[in-house]
Amino acid sequence: MKRRVTTFLIFTLSLLLLASCDSNGNKEHGTARGADKPAYGDTLVEGTIGEPSNLIPILATDSASFDVAGFIYNGLVKYDKNLNLTGDLAESWDVSADGLSITFHLRRGVKWHDGAEFTSRDVLYTYRVTIDPKTPTAYAESFKQVKKVEAPDAYTFRATYDKPFAPALESWGSAVLPAHLLEGKDITKSPLSRKPVGTGPYRFGQWVAGQKVVLESNHDYFEGRPYIERYVYRIIPDTSTMYMELKSGGLDLMPLTPVQFARQTDSAKFTARFRKYRYPSSTYVYLGYNLRHPLFKDRRVRQALTAAINKEEIIQGVLLGMGQIAHGPYKPGTWAYKPQVKDFAYDPSRARQLLAEAGWKKRNSTGTLVKDGRPFQFTILTNQGNAERLKAAQIIQQRLRDVGIEVKIRVVEWASFLSQFIDTGNFEAVILGWTITPDPDLFDVWHSSKTGPRELNFVGFRNAEVDTLIEQGRTTFDRNRRQQCYYRIQDILAWEQPYTFLYVPDALPVVSARFHGIEPAPAGISYNFIHWYVPKAEQVYKETAKP
């Protein structure tokens, strides 16, 4: 249930086609399941492996907190079903002609859950507390680009920047906090972190530590009262247990694994009770090379490695086909994604030829390529607890052996992985994943200024043209110009191959069939949660008494 309009981990464009042609997506209309009329009531129970930590979003860093907070708070803007920015607490906004200032016109008559009125003072407060040096937040960075903020009246808010900053708009999608409850208080000790007050479609109900968070629908929500009366976020740390809870009726919504999706949920009994959905998730998995390492300095070697790896085979083997080949850092189908990038397709003879050009011609007794007396061998590192990445590494190991490269695989616990390998630059290749944000800015991961210690361009990619294009792309609001920049960057990345981009996995949620009104879109399924409903006859949780 990821209605994450917040600054982080957001859904990106997908193929509408893929989402809606799933075998179960359209059945709803055909089957007669009683009167199919929207009705208020019932409860949706979602399963999660992690417990939220803090329901004041700027203080939280985990996705569980953002999932729950997404129901309780609103930002000024949000992403709609097609992942275009649209108004949320702001009815509209104007960007000045020079691109330096953004003026938000706020909705009138919006009430906080405690009845107080929402005004520009709340937005001012949210901005100030986020950049306050005393606030231990991880998300001050995009607000720090702001030169000046002002609130000319209660329903207008303006932010001015030193230079045009395209990702700025998205940053105003972060949750607006209630100034009347927080101003002048220490936010880190505020009771709101366990009992939040927002403006969103659901009000906070109850939090039983380690067990569940219960939200009640906000009847006065400015976009209309949600049909589903109550939402329960149930914490079940083990995924096998979660799956059994789903089958026994204790859960209504959870993510499936590819195996569950493909092999364990096709019985008539299951499909009668549940609907499965499938659309590309907003992440990609890659094999990244340490570009400072002598082995990978030669572009031809990196190109050869990509040509030697069969990405389709990895998707079949690891995800049972529930994913797409990645050619670059964007999700297929989004506006920044370039459809025809000249990537290196699987072609072992081309790989051998490229390696020979780079000087790897001779082989030793075990069949490994040798240059200057040294065999071509390296270690792929990946983090513990991610079976998919380990499997991908094993398939890659096999394919690279075919062209004469010997790969070792090492799985390391996350903290050691970071402190001993990534931070020190003491690695050869890694398999990791990135989240794809709806805003296509690539500054943090690909700009050459981000190659320092503990920064995210840890592979050490430096390309003057890419730097310029990234800077151009983030300083204009014109989507066509931005698209040109990002198209060109994808061509360069496909030629340089600093990563072998592996795959974009699919998100595979399953929802109890009694919930109607779900319309898969590029943004996933949860963007219209307030319009989901259960017809009266099918409601399971009848009591809706308020606690």
Partner 1 sequence: MIAYLTKRILMLIPLLFGITLITFAVIHLAPGEPVDMQTAMNPKVSAEARQKMREFYGLDKPLHVQYVTWLGRMARLDFGRSFAPDNRPVTDKIVERIPITLSLNVIALILEFGLAIPIGILAAVRRETLLDKGITVFVFLGFAMPTFWLALLLMYLFGVKLGWLPISGLHSLGSDQLGPIAWFWDLAKHLVLPVGIATFGSLAGLSRYMRSTMLEVIRQDYITTARAKGLSERVVIYKHALRNALLPVITLLGFSLPGLIGGSVIFETIFAIPGMGQLFYQGVMMRDYPLVMGILVIGAFLTLIGNLLADICYSMADPRIRHGRA
Which residues here bind partner 1, judged by CB under 8 A?
Answer: 7-8, 43, 45, 53-54, 59-62, 65, 133, 136-142, 144, 188-189, 193-194, 209-211, 232, 234-238, 240-241, 244-245, 247-248, 250, 413-416, 418-420, 432, 437, 444-445, 452, 454-456, 541, 543, 545, 547
| Nearest-approach distance from CB 142 to partner 1, in angstroms | 7
| Nearest-approach distance from CB 367 to partner 1, in angstroms | 36
Q: What is the CA radius of gyration of the chain?
A: 25
| Nearest-approach distance from CB 237 to partner 1, in angstroms | 4
Nearer to partner 1, 76 or 232 (CB): 232
Amino acid at 337: Y
Closest CA to 339 of 359, 354, 324: 324
Please return the burial class of 343, using the count of CB atoms within 10 Å of its CB with bins 0-12, 13-18 and 19+: buried
Nearer to partner 1, 29 or 546 (CB): 546
Q: CA angle 304-309-311, nearest 5°?
A: 135
What residues pair up with 111 in beta bridges, in sequence order?
A: 117
| Nearest-approach distance from CB 383 to partner 1, in angstroms | 10
| Nearest-approach distance from CB 413 to partner 1, in angstroms | 8
Closest CA to 317 of 502, 509, 501: 502
- Residue 31 CB partners (closer than 8 Å, separation 6+): none
Nearer to partner 1, 193 or 490 (CB): 193
Nearer to partner 1, 121 or 128 (CB): 128
Nearer to partner 1, 38 or 249 (CB): 249
Nearer to partner 1, 8 or 335 (CB): 8
Give the Cα separation of 269 and 285 in Å (integer): 34
Nearer to partner 1, 39 or 140 (CB): 140
| Nearest-approach distance from CB 539 to partner 1, in angstroms | 13
What are the structure tokens assigned to 191, written together?
């009771």
Nearer to partner 1, 91 or 238 (CB): 238
Phi, psi values for residue 516, rounded to 5°: -110, 170
Calculated CA dihedral for residues 400, 328, 455, 5, nearest 10 degrees: -130
N-to-C CA span, the chain: 24
| Furthest CA-CA distance within the chain | 79
Inter-residue contact 23 to 261 (CB < 8 Å): no
| Nearest-approach distance from CB 137 to partner 1, in angstroms | 7
| Nearest-approach distance from CB 70 to partner 1, in angstroms | 16
What residues pair up with 510 in beta bridges, in sequence order?
A: 254, 276
